[in-house]
C-alpha cells in the first residue's frame, strides 16, 4: 500500500504544481497585455502563484521519500547486511576460527586495446593465466588467416614508446616479402622474464592463449635500445638453444666482452650509421665471441624515429633466416 500512496501523492503534487504554474503564466500574459494601454502591470499575483507552484511540486515529490523511510521502522527497502558485523555475531566465542575470505581474483587476460601505431595488426595488453608478467601482444594482420597453424614468436624487449615503430617495421618487412609474420610479445618491463623458468611460464601461457609454436627454437628475441638490448644479449649468450636467434638494435652493451665464446650463439647487432657508441660496443663483443655475431651499421635516415622501423625490418629479415636454419637443424632426418 505504501507504494500506491507514494504514487498518488507524487501525482497530486505534480498536477497541482502544473496548474499553479499555468495560472502564473496566464496572469503574467494578462499583466503584460496592459502595457499597450499604458497600464501599470501588477506582478504580485504572478509571483505568488509561481512560489506556490514550486512549494507544491517539491512537497509532492518529497512525500514519497518520507513515506518510504517512515519512522515506524517498516521500511520497504531491505537493509544491506555488513559482512564484518555478520561475521562478528556468528564467530565462535574464542575467535580462533578464521573468517571466510573471498578467493583471490585471477589476473585479467589480455584484452584488445585501441593503441595508435598497430600497423594493421591487433594489440592486446594484460596478463595471461598462469603468468604474472604484464605484456603487450601484437598479432599481425596475417594471424587470422593461418587456420590454427602455430606462428613463430618474437620476444620484444623495447621501451613502450618505441613499440609502435616496432610493429611498423615488422609489418613492413612482411609486406616486402622478406620476413615471416611473427606474433610479438613485449613485456612492460623490457628485462622481465629473462630467467629460464620465468620465460618458460610466459611461453606456456602465450601458447595456450594465442596458439604460438611452443618449440624453443620457434622463439627469438628482438631488442631495441637499453636496457632491453643488454638483457636480450645476456639471455642469448647464457642459453643460445632457447632461441632461434637474437637481434639487438641501437643498444649499448658494456660488460659483455668477457663472455666465453659459443659457436651456437646467433646474434645480430645493428645500429644506425650515426650511432658510433653502439657500433663500438658491437665490435668489441664480436671480437670477444669470435663467431656467431653479425654486425650491421648501414641504416641511415633523417631522424632516429625514421631509422628505427628500418632497423626493425633489417632484424625481421635476419630472424626469418635464422628461424629457417633452426627448423632445418631440428627437423628429423629421413631414414
Task: Write the CATH number for 206.
Answer: 3.40.50.1820
Q: Are residues 169 and 278 in the same domain?
A: yes
Task: Domain count for the chain, please give it.
Answer: 2
Q: Are residues 204 and 286 in the same domain?
A: yes
Q: Are residues 42 and 177 in the same domain?
A: no
End-of-domain residue from the set 68, 90, 124? 68
By residue range, what is the domain housing residue 148? 111-330
Q: Are residues 163 and 265 in the same domain?
A: yes
End-of-domain residue from the set 68, 89, 121? 68
* Burial class of residue 111 (count of CB atoms within 10 Å of its CB; 0-12, 13-18, 19+): exposed
Confirm whether 77 is domain-assigned: no
Confirm whether 93 is domain-assigned: no
Q: Are residues 177 and 306 in the same domain?
A: yes
Confirm whether 96 is domain-assigned: no
Could you tell me if 309 and 303 are in contact, meaning their C-beta atoms sit under 8 angstroms apart? no
Confirm whether 90 is domain-assigned: no
Confirm whether 83 is domain-assigned: no
Q: Are residues 143 and 277 in the same domain?
A: yes
The whole model's pTM is what?
A: 0.65
Confirm whether 21 is domain-assigned: yes
Confirm whether 246 is domain-assigned: yes
Task: Name, in order, each residue with C-beta under 8 angstroms of 164's C-beta and a sequence gap of 6 or more.
Answer: 115, 116, 117, 118, 119
Q: Are residues 127 and 246 in the same domain?
A: yes
Confirm whether 256 is domain-assigned: yes
The beta-strand segments (E) located in the chain are: 111-113, 122-126, 135-139, 153-157, 183-187, 219-224, 246-249, 267-270, 293-296
Adjacent-strand bridge partners of 222:
156, 247
The pLDDT tens digits along the chain (335 residues) read 555 556 666 666 667 666 767 766 666 665 565 454 444 556 676 567 676 767 656 666 665 544 444 444 433 333 333 333 333 333 334 433 343 343 344 445 566 665 556 778 889 999 998 899 999 999 998 887 665 567 899 999 999 999 999 999 999 999 999 899 999 999 999 999 888 899 999 999 998 888 888 788 899 999 999 999 999 999 999 899 999 999 999 999 887 766 777 889 999 999 999 999 999 999 988 888 878 899 999 999 999 899 999 999 999 999 999 999 988 876 655 54
Could you tell me if 295 and 272 are in contact, meaning their C-beta atoms sit under 8 angstroms apart? no
Amino acid at each position: 500500500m505504501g507504494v500506491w500512496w507514494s504514487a498518488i501523492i507524487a501525482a497530486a503534487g505534480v498536477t497541482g504544481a502544473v496548474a499553479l504554474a499555468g495560472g502564473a503564466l496566464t496572469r503574467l500574459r494578462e499583466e503584460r497585455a496592459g502595457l499597450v494601454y499604458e497600464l501599470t502591470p501588477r506582478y504580485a499575483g504572478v509571483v505568488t502563484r509561481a512560489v506556490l507552484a514550486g512549494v507544491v511540486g517539491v512537497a509532492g515529490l518529497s512525500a514519497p521519500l518520507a513515506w518510504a523511510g517512515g519512522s515506524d521502522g517498516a521500511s520497504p527497502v531491505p537493509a544491506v547486511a555488513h559482512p564484518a558485523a555478520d561475521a562478528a555475531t556468528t564467530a565462535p566465542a574464542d575467535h580462533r576460527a578464521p573468517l571466510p575470505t573471498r578467493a583471490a581474483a585471477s589476473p585479467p587476460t589480455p584484452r584488445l586495446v585501441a593503441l595508435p601505431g598497430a600497423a594493421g595488426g591487433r594489440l592486446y595488453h594484460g596478463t595471461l593465466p598462469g603468468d604474472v608478467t604484464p605484456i603487450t601482444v601484437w598479432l599481425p594482420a596475417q594471424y587470422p588467416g593461418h587456420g590454427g597453424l602455430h606462428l613463430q614468436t618474437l620476444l620484444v624487449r623495447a621501451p613502450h614508446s618505441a613499440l609502435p615503430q616496432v610493429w611498423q617495421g615488422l609489418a613492413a618487412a612482411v609486406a616486402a616479402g622478406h620476413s615471416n609474420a611473427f606474433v610479438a610479445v613485449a613485456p612492460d618491463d623490457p628485462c622481465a622474464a629473462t630467467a629460464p623458468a620465468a620465460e618458460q611460464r610466459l611461453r606456456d601461457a602465450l601458447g595456450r592463449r594465442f596458439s604460438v609454436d611452443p618449440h624453443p627454437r620457434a622463439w627469438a628475441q628482438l631488442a631495441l635500445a637499453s636496457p632491453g638490448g643488454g638483457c636480450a644479449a645476456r639471455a642469448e649468450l647464457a642459453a643460445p638453444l632457447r632461441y632461434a636467434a637474437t637481434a639487438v638494435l641501437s643498444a649499448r652493451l658494456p660488460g659483455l666482452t668477457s663472455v666465453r665464446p659459443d659457436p651456437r650463439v646467433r646474434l645480430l647487432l645493428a645500429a644506425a650509421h650515426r650511432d658510433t657508441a653502439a657500433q663500438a660496443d658491437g665490435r668489441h663483443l664480436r671480437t670477444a665471441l669470435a663467431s656467431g655475431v653479425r654486425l650491421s651499421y648501414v641504416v641511415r635516415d633523417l631522424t632516429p624515429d625514421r631509422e628505427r622501423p628500418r632497423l626493425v625490418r633489417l632484424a625481421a629479415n635476419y630472424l626469418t633466416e635464422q628461424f629457417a636454419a633452426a627448423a632445418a637443424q631440428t627437423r628429423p632426418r629421413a631414414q
